[in-house]
Amino acid sequence: MPRDAPALSAAGAAARTRHILPRDAGWYGLLLPAFLLMTVLYVAPILQVLAISVTEPVPGFGNYERLFTNAGVQRVIGTTLRICLITTAVALLLGYVLSYVITLATPRAQRWWLLAVLVPLWISVLVRAFAWVTLLRRQGLVNEGLQAVGLIEEPLRLVWNEFGIVIGMVHYMVPYAVLPMLAAMREIDPRLLAAARGLGASRFAVFSRVFLPLSAPGLVAAGVLVFIFSLGFYITPAILGGGKTLMAAEWIKLQILDLVRWGMGAMLATVLVVTILVTLAIFSRVVDLRRVFGGGH
Amino acid sequence: MSAAAGHALELRGLSKRYGGFTAVDAVSLRVERGQFLTLLGPSGSGKTTILMAIAGFVAPSEGAVLLDRRDITALPPERRDFGMVFQGYALFPHMTVAENVAFPLRVRGMPRAERDAKVRAALDLVQLSRFADRRPSQLSGGQQQRVALARALVFDPALLLLDEPLSALDKKLRAELQEELKALHRRVGRTFVNVTHDQEEALSLSDRVAILNYGRLVQIGAPEVLYEQPRTRFVADFLGKSNFLHGTVREVRPDGMALQAGATRLVQAVEGAHPAPGTPALLSLRPEKIVLLAEDEGAENEVDGTIAAWAYLGAGYSLAVRTRDLGEIRVALPAWRAPITPREGLPVRLGWAADAAVPVLEDADAA
């Protein structure tokens, strides 16, 4: 999924190269292993899941009816959407500021900033989740530090709730928010910003009337990317939520592995997949705005 | 856009240093109200840095920028009220042509009705009203350039700054837009400061041209003055083509002097300071001021030579004539009814008047 970000700008180029390659079936033969791997091991199981959701325990749409009748399912979906929206909003805000700073930095500083943004991506999500637990728990560094300086008397409940989940997810998502936005911001001609000032715009007007609209496609791309990614989060909410706050992925695991209600688990999994596909469909239309905005010459 | 609303601009001892590198070295000049001044120089001559200092994007290391005797050196670009046409135009790609032109008015908080009227007038001025709702990417280079002009003029700026406004266009379009730009300057009557490395553009557009080299102002004046009376070798060489003749002063009279170059004796008219006899002298002689002399013709200066190389350029021939004492001399010969048919090795006799050449300073002496 993160690879979609650079692909945005590369899509046009890829479409052009396709005609350059010889129209020889032999070349497509090279794609076969990857194609088989994708269909047999990825698409087929997904279709099977979809099938289970309408066949177990009895054939029909009984599982989907629960979406409208079962308060537990509704609560999980509500929690998931709420956490994902908050995560997306916070990650976008932090990522935007970061991208803005990186874009305006010197090339040398840019390299260091980028490294700092990318390093967390190479650390296991498990390690990072546990690191947050040790920082945020009652006797953690944050609570003890705040108590030591006298800001609080009782430790704050920073983890094993939605707050902890959001912190962990935002931390994970910021690099994914930065990459598409940075790509969009780098395409902005710095002379446009100078021109805006020369024409009488204050620094704020330069940002709000020129920089922000020109970086909007990146902002939208990053938003969709982070939101879709957040929907399927499993490890981070499982650890930082402490089993009290259930999100979709963990609920599915609970249904299938612990309660052995395959139908219900498969139903929510299908809902997730459909939600992601719908979001992507909307996303692809929004990205076309880049052409409308004249960004793709 | 009332006429003659231009302002006078003055630079006083403007310098800009980047570390140990001096980009602009103590440049002082004045642009009078309504004048079209061009800063001309090769790349790295500091012309763009000067323009950016006028615009407020570059803070000078020393010196001051004055607008109508008011010191504006410390004023940020957005408060200077200068219109600017950027290199590559810098049109906002996410706005229509009309929105681009409206931008300076919008950020000044002008009410909508007034704004629309001004935008319409500005687009009329550059004959682009039909394209108001297009995006810049849907316009040709020349049209984009005119949008940039309309945007820079719409808010009645004190001064219009142009950074290589025509450099992105092809040659023919450039010539057309040169004329348009000149007509526009006459119509709006504002003070224009233009930057270019194209000497033809500088000569044809400007009331005055400032020639820069290595961050220094070498000479400033009307185009005709710079072309006819270059002060230094650099100016003569940079503006048009020139031959450089080396000689030693033999004799000095009130109206001129005689030079010796090997066995060749040259006479040269002199205005202003006369050099002392015995000192070396350098003359700049334009190729088009040399004629080929027929058998029975004479001139104040006559030099024999042979054609070493030649080229046909349509309107004329360019000849390289090898001479014994003056090296190779370039001659521009009109092709129509040319007295000779050029060929290599052909002996010719060159002639020019005493006031055809101009004594110039070596660049090292001028500094």
Task: pLDDT tens for chain A, 297 residues: list them.
Answer: 343 444 444 444 444 555 555 566 677 888 888 889 988 888 888 888 888 999 888 888 888 988 899 898 999 999 999 999 999 999 999 999 999 999 989 999 999 999 999 888 888 889 999 999 999 988 889 999 999 998 888 888 888 889 999 999 999 999 999 998 998 999 999 999 999 999 999 999 999 999 999 999 889 888 988 999 899 899 999 989 887 788 999 999 999 899 988 999 999 999 998 988 888 888 777 765 443 333 443
Chain B interface, best mutation among A187, A189, A199, A206, by max B CB count within 10 A: A199
**Do residues B139 and B131 lie in contact, with contact meaning Cβ atoms separated by under 8 Å?**
yes
Give A190's contacts in chain B (Cβ within 8 Å).
none
Query: Residue A81 corresponds to which tokens in the numbers above?
Result: 């959407």
Give A205's contacts in chain B (Cβ within 8 Å).
107
> Could you give the count of Cα atoms lying within 13 Å of B183 in the half-sphere of its Cβ?
10
Angle subtended at Cα B121 by Cα B115 and Cα B123, rounded to the nearest 5 degrees = 100
Q: Edge to edge, what strands does the sheet with B256-261 contain? A: B264-269, B256-261, B243-253, B280-285, B358-359
Is A212 in CB contact (< 8 Å) with chain B? no
Query: Residue A166 corresponds to which tokens in the numbers above?
Result: 């959001």
Which residues are within 8 A (CB) of A261 and not within 5 positions of it... i.e. 6 or more apart?
A57, A255
- The per-type count for chain B, helices as H runs and strands as E runs, is 9, 20
A178: closest CA among A228, A212, A111, A226? A226
Give A204's contacts in chain B (Cβ within 8 Å).
none
Which residues are within 8 A (CB) of B112 and not within 5 positions of it... i.e. 6 or more apart?
none
For chain B, give every residue range classified as CATH 2.40.50.140. 238-366
Report the distance separating Cα B23 and Cα B50, nearest Å: 9
Q: Do A209 and B103 touch (CB under 8 A)?
A: yes
Phi and psi at residue A153, to the nearest 5°: -105, -45
**Do residues A129 and A239 lie in contact, with contact meaning Cβ atoms separated by under 8 Å?**
yes
**Do residues B23 and B16 lie in contact, with contact meaning Cβ atoms separated by under 8 Å?**
yes
What pLDDT tens digit does each residue of chain B (367 aa) get? 444 456 899 999 999 999 989 999 999 999 999 999 999 999 989 999 999 999 999 999 999 999 998 999 999 999 999 999 998 899 999 999 999 999 999 999 999 999 999 999 999 988 899 999 999 999 998 899 999 999 999 999 989 999 998 887 888 888 888 888 898 899 888 999 999 998 989 999 999 999 999 999 999 999 999 999 999 999 999 998 999 999 999 999 888 899 999 999 999 998 877 888 999 999 999 999 999 998 888 999 999 999 999 999 999 999 999 999 999 999 999 999 888 899 999 999 999 999 999 999 988 766 5
> Could you give the count of Cα atoms lying within 13 Å of B116 in the half-sphere of its Cβ?
3
Q: Do B88 and A200 touch (CB under 8 A)?
A: no
Structure ipTM: 0.78
Q: Do B77 and A194 touch (CB under 8 A)?
A: yes
DSSP state of B89: B
Beta-strand (E) ranges in B164-263?
Answer: 192-196, 208-213, 216-221, 243-253, 256-261
B246: closest CA among B333, B354, B332, B357? B357
Angle subtended at Cα A157 by Cα A151 and Cα A161, rounded to the nearest 5 degrees = 150
Give B88's contacts in chain A (Cβ within 8 Å).
189, 191
Name the minimum distance, in Å, from the CA of A92 to any CA of chain B. Answer: 22
**Do residues B341 and B335 lie in contact, with contact meaning Cβ atoms separated by under 8 Å?**
no
Which of B76, B87, B94 lies at the smallest CB-CB distance from A293? B94
Report the chain B residue with the minimal C-alpha distance to residue A215: B94
Is A210 in CB contact (< 8 Å) with chain B? yes
Q: Look up the CATH superfamily of B238-366.
A: Nucleic acid-binding proteins (2.40.50.140)
| 3-class DSSP state of A106 | coil
Amino acid, single-letter form, for residue A94: L
Architecture in CATH for domain B9-234: 3-Layer(aba) Sandwich (3.40)
Question: Is this prediction's pTM over 0.80?
Answer: no
Q: Do A213 and B94 touch (CB under 8 A)?
A: yes
Report the chain A residue with the minimal C-alpha distance to residue B150: A199
Report the distance separating Cα B82 and Cα B171, nearest Å: 28
A165: closest CA among A220, A219, A85? A85
pLDDT in tens, B141-175: 889 999 999 999 999 998 999 999 888 788 888 88
Q: How many residues does chain B have?
A: 367
What pLDDT, on the 0 to 100 scale, is given for residue B2? Answer: 41
Give A210's contacts in chain B (Cβ within 8 Å).
92
What pLDDT, on the 0 to 100 scale, is given for residue A287? Answer: 64
Q: How many residues does chain A have?
A: 297
Chain-centroid distance, C-alpha A57: 33
Which residues are within 8 A (CB) of B11 and not within 5 positions of it... i.e. 6 or more apart?
B27, B28, B29, B30, B50, B53, B54, B63, B64, B65, B66
- Taking CA atoms, A142 is separated from A158, A162, A239, B315, B352, in Å, by 9, 17, 18, 84, 91
Is A197 in CB contact (< 8 Å) with chain B? yes
Q: Do A214 and B82 touch (CB under 8 A)?
A: no
Crossing angle for the helix pair A162-186 and A71-104, nearest 10 degrees? 40
Give A201's contacts in chain B (Cβ within 8 Å).
78, 103-104, 107
Name the minimum distance, in Å, from the CA of B205 to any CA of chain A. Answer: 23
Report the distance separating Cα A81 and Cα B287, nearest Å: 80
Give B92's contacts in chain A (Cβ within 8 Å).
192, 195-196, 210, 214
Which residues are within 8 A (CB) of B41 and not within 5 positions of it... i.e. 6 or more apart?
B47, B197, B211, B212, B213, B238
Name the minimum distance, in Å, from the CA of A291 to any CA of chain B. Answer: 10
- Locus of tokens 């139903």: A267
Give the sign of the dihedral formed by CA B327, CA B328, CA B331, CA B335: positive
Angle subtended at Cα A238 by Cα A237 and Cα A243, rounded to the nearest 5 degrees = 110
> Could you give the count of Cα atoms lying within 13 Å of A244 in the half-sphere of its Cβ?
10
**Do residues B138 and B60 lie in contact, with contact meaning Cβ atoms separated by under 8 Å?**
no
What pLDDT, on the 0 to 100 scale, is given for residue B320? Answer: 96
- The four Cα atoms A288, A292, A293, A297 give a dihedral, to 10 degrees, of 90
Is A107 in CB contact (< 8 Å) with chain B? no
**Do residues B57 and B215 lie in contact, with contact meaning Cβ atoms separated by under 8 Å?**
no
| 3-class DSSP state of B84 | strand
Run of H or E residues at B330: strand B328-334
For chain B, give every residue range classified as CATH 3.40.50.300. 9-234
Q: Do A200 and B137 touch (CB under 8 A)?
A: no
- Find the chain B residues whose C-beta atoms sit closer than 8 A to any C-beta of A: 55-57, 76-79, 81-84, 86-88, 90, 92-94, 103-104, 106-108, 135-137, 151-152, 155, 161
- Locus of tokens 């805000």: A93
Angle subtended at Cα B257 by Cα B253 and Cα B262, rounded to the nearest 5 degrees = 140
Crossing angle for the helix pair A71-104 and A262-287, nearest 10 degrees? 30
**How many CB pairs below 8 A link A and B?**
74
B294: closest CA among B354, B233, B349? B349
Domain A4-23+67-292 part of CATH 1.10.3720.10: yes
- Give domain limits for chain A: 4-23+67-292
Q: Do B93 and A191 touch (CB under 8 A)?
A: no
Name the minimum distance, in Å, from the CA of A288 to any CA of chain B. Answer: 13
Q: Do A199 and B94 touch (CB under 8 A)?
A: no
